[in-house]
């Protein structure tokens, strides 16, 4: 028989028979063919041997004392570790019901004794090949499923960034238009009516142009900061006490101007990007210093609480508050609830906070009582 030897050398067959003579004969046949053969003289020995080191195939006698072949097969099929092993029954029982019993206990094939040597060899090889193909199919299937999962995740990410981009483009074109219109409008007046205008009027229009230009510059700077929030995950160990200290340093002018009182609880060390986390605190504390009630100096609390696997940070103020209907809108680009002459700003701060917090694997949200104050919350994964 011309069977592929290289494949057979690797296959191990467990031969189970309570008669030593039968075991010897089958072992010789299979060893001659290049198989690694292990022997078991009883059903129990066979189960132990198969569990310790699962063979590639089991040749199983049906009639044995104690556990018979059908029972052994059923137990092999009930065990996750051995259920994939093909079992071929060997039996002198030649009646159809016996064979059916063999198949219904999970057997792959049935050879009747006395057997032809070549029949045993061919059937063993045949079932090993089926098992090999089956294993390959399962591997490929698992690989395909992983690929599908990866693709779905990628698609979701793509959709999200597409949506981001859309919102970004819309907001940019819309909000940069406003100061640009002012610059163009006032420049046109100046160029067309320059000779009729008084010096004071010229000065006023030039000042409006400068202001619009500065606003555009601020918008572009903030947008750049927003778009440069790096969502890749090379994070460092960050001490949040230091992060807040730095944010407060940057806000020193506003703090002394407003006479704010700021209380800070001890904060944890987390994994993140220090420069970005400074930006988050700076934006939130900056807002708390800005959206204040007339004649009520800002009173700001910065604290943290341990949640499930995460830290929940809090920045609470006693300012003008926010109507709950606007909670979601606040975190979108350019969304502002207040006129810029009373409360200057570009409306990019909270969108940037959201982007940074989410890129750290956290969430950001707000609770407020209009007229009393606002608390911003954000979570970051625990170290």
Ligand X SMILES: Nc1ncnc2c1ncn2[C@@H]1O[C@H](COP(=O)(O)OP(=O)(O)OP(=O)(O)O)[C@@H](O)[C@H]1O
Task: Give me the residues that bind ligand X (CB under 6 A), please.
Answer: 222, 283, 287-288, 291, 317, 319-320, 322, 330, 335-338, 345-351, 374
Task: Residue 352: count other Cβ atoms within 10 Å of its Cβ.
Answer: 23
Closer to ligand X by CB, 203 or 344: give it.
344
Closer to Mg ion by CB, 138 or 214: give it.
214
CB of 300 to ligand X, least distance (A): 9
Closer to Mg ion by CB, 55 or 319: give it.
319
Dig out the tokens for 300 from the structure.
Answer: 């700001």
CB of 292 to ligand X, least distance (A): 8
**Residue at token pair 């292990």:** 38
Closer to ligand X by CB, 69 or 349: give it.
349
CB of 148 to ligand X, least distance (A): 38
Residue with CB nearest ligand X?
349
Which stretches of the chain bind Mg ion, using CB under 5 A?
287, 349
Backbone angles phi, psi at 265, to 5 degrees: -80, 160
Among Mg ion, ligand X, none, what binds residue 35 when CB lies within 5 to 8 Å by partner kind? none
How far apart CA 311 and CA 244 sit, in angstroms, is 15
How far apart CA 227 and CA 224 sit, in angstroms, is 5
Instruction: Report whether 112 contacts 1 (CB < 8 A).
Output: no
Dig out the tokens for 92 from the structure.
Answer: 């002198």
Among ligand X, Mg ion, none, what binds residue 105 when CB lies within 5 to 8 Å by partner kind? none
Q: How far is CA 164 from CA 171, 226, 327, 328, 361, in A?
A: 10, 11, 19, 15, 17
Residue with CB nearest Mg ion?
349
CB of 217 to ligand X, least distance (A): 13
Residues whose CB is less than 8 angstroms from the CB of residue 371 and which lie 6 or more positions away in sequence, other chains included: 293, 320, 321
Among Mg ion, ligand X, none, what binds residue 374 when CB lies within 5 to 8 Å by partner kind? ligand X
Dig out the tokens for 382 from the structure.
Answer: 């625990």
CB of 267 to ligand X, least distance (A): 19
Closer to Mg ion by CB, 39 or 375: give it.
375
Strand partners, 380: 311
Closer to ligand X by CB, 144 or 337: give it.
337
Residues whose CB is less than 8 angstroms from the CB of residue 103 and which lie 6 or more positions away in sequence, other chains included: 110
CB of 353 to Mg ion, least distance (A): 8
Closer to ligand X by CB, 17 or 317: give it.
317
Q: Are strands 12-16 and 57-61 parallel, antiparallel or unpaired?
A: parallel
Among ligand X, Mg ion, none, what binds residue 291 when CB lies within 5 to 8 Å by partner kind? ligand X
CB of 218 to ligand X, least distance (A): 8
- What percent helix, strand, coil does the chain show, rounded to 5? 55, 15, 30
């Amino acid at each position: 028989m011309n069977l592929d030897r290289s494949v057979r050398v690797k296959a191990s067959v467990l031969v189970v028979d309570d008669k030593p003579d039968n075991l010897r004969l089958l072992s010789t046949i299979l060893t001659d063919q290049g198989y690694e053969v292990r022997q078991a003289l009883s059903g129990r020995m066979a189960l132990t041997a198969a569990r310790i080191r699962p063979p590639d195939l089991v040749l199983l006698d049906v009639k044995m004392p104690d556990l018979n072949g059908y029972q052994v097969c059923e137990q092999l099929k009930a065990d996750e570790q051995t259920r994939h092993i093909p079992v071929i029954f060997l039996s002198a029982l030649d009646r159809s019901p016996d064979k059916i019993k063999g198949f219904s206990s999970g057997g792959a094939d049935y050879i009747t004794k006395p057997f032809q040597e070549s029949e045993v060899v061919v059937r063993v090889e045949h079932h090993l090949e089926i098992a090999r193909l089956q294993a390959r199919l399962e591997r490929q299937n698992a690989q395909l499923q992983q690929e599908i999962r990866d693709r779905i995740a990628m698609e979701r990410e793509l959709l999200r960034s597409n949506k981001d981009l859309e919102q970004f483009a819309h907001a940019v074109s819309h909000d940069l238009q406003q100061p640009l219109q002012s610059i163009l409008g006032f420049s046109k007046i100046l160029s067309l009516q320059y000779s009729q205008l008084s010096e004071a009027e010229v000065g006023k229009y030039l000042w409006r142009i400068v202001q619009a230009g500065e606003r555009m510059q601020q918008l572009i700077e903030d947008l750049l900061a927003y778009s440069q929030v790096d969502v890749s995950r090379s994070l460092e160990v960050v001490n949040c006490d230091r992060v807040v200290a730095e944010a407060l340093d940057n806000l020193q002018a506003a703090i002394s101007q407003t006479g704010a009182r700021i209380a800070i609880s001890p904060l944890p060390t987390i994994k993140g990007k220090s420069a970005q986390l400074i930006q988050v605190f700076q934006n939130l504390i900056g807002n708390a210093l800005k959206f204040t009630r007339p004649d009520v100096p800002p009173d700001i609390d910065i604290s943290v609480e341990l949640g499930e696997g995460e830290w929940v940070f809090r920045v609470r103020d006693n300012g003008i508050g926010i109507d709950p209907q606007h909670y979601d809108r606040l975190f979108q680009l350019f969304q502002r609830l207040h006129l810029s002459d009373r409360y200057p700003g570009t409306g990019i701060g909270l969108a940037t906070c959201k982007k940074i917090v989410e890129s750290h694997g956290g969430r950001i949200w707000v609770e407020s009582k209009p007229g009393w104050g606002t608390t911003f919350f954000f979570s970051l994964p625990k170290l």
